[in-house]
């Protein structure tokens, strides 16, 4: 599962060779470690608009190299004013330290009526995605559209983006809307007293999700098929959670889960639909069974479980549903018509259920991972695997924990305004960009 090119390129000799030959030079990404500062340097802020108070709270003061550059672009209401981006960033962008963070805050264009304002705010996407591609050394750039009135709701998102937790998230556009936000009493353990269900939790990304949600204070119910029973118990024990052996596609799975959570926990707060399978074949060679298996695990089961939990009122207020999609669901992929159909369907599920979840004081979002180092990707043929690792702005694959940290941000009670989003955890993959 380890990347030999990454190990080589990060060695002393490898650094010399890759720079001489102009080969990709993947940086060592800074990831969250308890007790360490969120960023390696101070945060410099610029711009002006509705988020002045937020900016003041995050500006730390101090000299370069900077850990983060944050720009409030909500005051920009015509294209001429976009030069404010150049004026702020151009002199300081080279002073951003390794694994630094760029965040631009804007107003959702769809909520504006004046043509120049819509144009100016939409332009921010092109700016941020290009900055993300220019940045080196493991740095990232994101655009956060904050609805009018949702200014206080952006805190959990900024804390995530301005930290090592978002190591493999770059070039993303995130929307934060109005909602009743509950600030956690303790930002180190925002999920204290919350109960989470993670499907496919015995290994890979699911095991990492269970670990991170438990680290943040949740009691995690880890679910997987019986064949994964011993690995599942190991994960559940490690995170101080519970194990449930269940095939998520079985017809009675939704009813059994409703009963389980209502009897033991009086409901569930966080549901992460992570279980997924691949049965890759080009369409002409794909059997009906391969099609059905993938659609059933990756999509139909998620819909049925959501339906069961929502109808029974088992998802508590300020609840969270998170779907695990894939960049294949955005870009498509050869040999994956079944998989990409299912993963695009997950995005449809998020979009269509977001209003209903909001009306219940809850949210539904998805992550779309790119190339993540797991058993699933270890099975990919070597050449395609290496290409998958390199075809992104970070020139390396992500780790399961990168997906898990993104899900933990969605799960945070303070993320009530983060609803209907699909955030790629792909190091700004070129696929589907
Ligand atoms: P994995 O194969 O290591 O783990 C998937 C888990 O789901 C396994 O433990 C499996 O037993 C479980 N599972 C499968 N069918 C199930 C069922 N019917 N009921 C209950 N559990 C079931 O995969 P992973 O790489 O950790 O991927 C996790 C999720 O992330 C999947 O949805 C996958 O499609 C998605 N994803 C992964 C990548 C990647 O690069 N690894 C990229 C994009 C998306």
Ligand 1 lining (C-beta closer than 6 Å): 199-200, 202-206, 224-225, 228, 247-249, 274-277, 297, 324, 326, 369, 371-372, 374-377
Q: For residues 325 and 272, is the Cβ–Cβ distance under 8 A?
A: no
Which residue's CA lies nearest to atom 31 of ligand 1?
A: 276
Q: Is 409 left (phi over 0), alpha (psi -120 to 50) or beta?
A: alpha
Active-site residue among 145, 260, 339, 410? 339
pLDDT at 39: 95
pLDDT at 100: 98
Which residue's CA lies nearest to atom 12 of ligand 1?
A: 200
Say how many Å lie between the CA of residue 150 and the centre of ligand 1: 34
pLDDT at 379: 84
Compute the distance between CA of residue 235 and CA of residue 241 in angstroms, rounded to an integer. 8
Q: Is 335 left (phi over 0), alpha (psi -120 to 50) or beta?
A: left
For the beta sheet containing 363-369, the strands, ordered from the edge strand earlier in sequence to the opposite edge, are: 242-245, 219-224, 195-199, 268-273, 315-324, 363-369, 422-425
pLDDT at 17: 66
In ligand 1, the atom with minimum distance to the C-alpha of 231 is: 9
pLDDT at 377: 86
In ligand 1, the atom with minimum distance to the C-alpha of 371 is: 40
In ligand 1, the atom with minimum distance to the C-alpha of 227 is: 11
Say how many Å lie between the CA of residue 274 and the centre of ligand 1: 6
Say how many Å lie between the CA of residue 261 and the centre of ligand 1: 23
Q: Which residues contact 90 (CB under 8 A, 6 or more apart)?
A: none
Residues of the chain with confidence (pLDDT) below 70: 1, 17
pLDDT at 1: 55
In ligand 1, the atom with minimum distance to the C-alpha of 249 is: 18
Q: For residues 121 and 112, is the Cβ–Cβ distance under 8 A?
A: yes
Which residue's CA lies nearest to atom 33 of ligand 1?
A: 276
pLDDT at 28: 94
For helices 83-92 and 115-134, angle between their N-to-C axes, nearest 10 degrees: 20
Say how many Å lie between the CA of residue 129 and the centre of ligand 1: 29
339 is an active site residue: yes
Pocket test for ligand 1, best of 277, 345, 425 (most atoms within 8 A of CB): 277
Pocket test for ligand 1, best of 232, 325, 374 (most atoms within 8 A of CB): 374
Which residue's CA lies nearest to atom 8 of ligand 1?
A: 200
């Amino acid at each position: 599962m380890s990347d030999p090119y990454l190990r080589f390129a990060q060695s002393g000799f490898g650094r010399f060779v890759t720079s001489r030959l102009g080969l990709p030079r993947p940086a060592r990404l800074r990831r969250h470690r308890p007790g360490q500062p969120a960023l390696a340097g101070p945060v410099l802020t610029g711009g002006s608009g509705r988020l002045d108070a937020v900016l003041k709270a995050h500006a730390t003061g101090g000299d370069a190299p900077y850990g983060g550059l944050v720009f409030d672009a909500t005051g920009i209401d015509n294209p001429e004013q976009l030069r404010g981006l150049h004026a702020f960033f151009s002199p300081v962008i080279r002073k951003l330290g390794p694994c630094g963070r760029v965040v631009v805050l804007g107003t959702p264009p769809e909520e504006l009526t004046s043509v120049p304002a819509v144009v100016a705010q939409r332009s921010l996407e092109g700016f941020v995605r290009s900055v993300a591609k220019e940045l080196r050394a493991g740095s990232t750039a994101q655009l956060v559209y904050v609805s009018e009135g949702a200014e206080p709701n952006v805190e959990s998102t900024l804390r995530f983006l301005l930290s090592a937790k978002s190591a493999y998230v770059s070039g993303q556009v995130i929307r934060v809307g109005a909602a009743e936000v509950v600030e956690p009493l303790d930002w180190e353990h925002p999920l204290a007293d919350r109960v989470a269900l993670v499907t496919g939790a015995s290994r890979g990304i699911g095991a990492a999700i269970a670990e991170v949600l438990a680290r943040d204070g949740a009691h995690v119910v880890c679910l997987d098929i019986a064949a994964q029973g011993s690995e599942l118990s190991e994960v559940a024990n490690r995170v101080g959670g519970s194990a449930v052996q269940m095939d998520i596609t079985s017809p009675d799975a939704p009813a059994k889960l409703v009963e389980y959570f209502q009897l033991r926990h009086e409901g569930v707060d966080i549901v992460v639909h992570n279980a997924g399978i691949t049965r890759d074949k080009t369409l002409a060679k794909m059997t009906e069974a391969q099609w059905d298996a993938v659609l059933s695990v990756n999509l139909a089961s998620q819909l049925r479980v959501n339906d069961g939990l929502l109808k029974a009122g088992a998802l508590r207020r300020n609840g969270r549903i998170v779907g695990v999609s894939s960049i294949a669901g955005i870009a498509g992929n050869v040999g994956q018509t079944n998989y990409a159909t299912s993963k695009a369907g997950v995005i449809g599920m998020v979009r269509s259920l977001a209003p209903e979840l909001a009306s219940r004081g809850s949210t539904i979002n998805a992550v779309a991972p790119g190339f993540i180092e797991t058993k699933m990707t270890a099975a990919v043929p070597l050449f395609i695997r290496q290409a998958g690792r390199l075809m992104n702005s970070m020139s390396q694959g992500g780790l399961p924990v990168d997906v898990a940290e993104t899900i933990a941000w969605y799960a945070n009670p303070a993320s009530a305004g983060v609803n209907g989003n699909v955030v790629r955890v792909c190091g700004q993959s070129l696929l589907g960009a």
